[in-house]
Structure 1
């Protein structure tokens, strides 16, 4: 089970590094990739990106270093909340095609929460 959880954490890490980095540090590229970015403030997009990047650190480092591994499920809860809020935002904007990614990442984050508690 531990190996499966590490694989899931790795998948989450790669996905959130990609999206978080683009939101936080490649705003113009994010605007071209995601239509919603054009309709919210640059500060909010940056904030979401930074929180996603910090979440990646939280789901990997504590467990890998065996220093406060209880932080890993807490970070996974945080990422799940971000993804859930994103899904609600997409539903509100009637961007139903975008919700699939949210559901997958929500399921993966919940799996990490359950598996690491």
Structure 2
């Protein structure tokens, strides 16, 4: 179970890192032309960059606290925050009629829920 949680955290961390880098460092004009990023046309550059920074923090929060053993409770807390982010993403993509992206966000949400459940419960770092 511990290994499965580490793999899930690694996968979700990679997703968060990729999304965070693109939203933080790719200009809005270029980002809005990419598949799945149509929502950026109506969003401010500041909002997009803020989401990018939050995703970068999520990438760090899913892995680093457990690796260094400092405040590992942040791992499941980060997973819960990711769930909230994915709910917002699913609502946004649903409004745009992008059902395949809603399903992708649902998969990311399920990974985060698994991490939160596992790290708050049977495989917590405090036990």
TM superposition score normalised by structure 2? 0.87
Per the alignment, residue 18 of structure 2 pairs with: 18
Aligned-pair RMSD on alpha carbons? Answer: 1.1
How far the C-alpha of 1:65 sits from its partner, in A, is 1.1
Larger radius of gyration: 2
Q: How does 1:1-117 map to 2 (within 5 A)?
A: 1-27=1-27, 28-33=29-34, 34-117=37-120
| Runs of 4+, deviation exceeding 4 Å | none
Paired positions, count: 117
Partners in 1 of 2:53 and 2:14 — Cα distance? 14
How far the C-alpha of 1:99 sits from its partner, in A, is 0.6
Structure 2 unaligned spans of 5+: 121-127
Greater helix percent: which structure?
1
TM superposition score normalised by structure 1? 0.94
Contact 1:9-1:112 within 8 A present in 2 as well: yes
Structure 1 unaligned spans of 5+: none
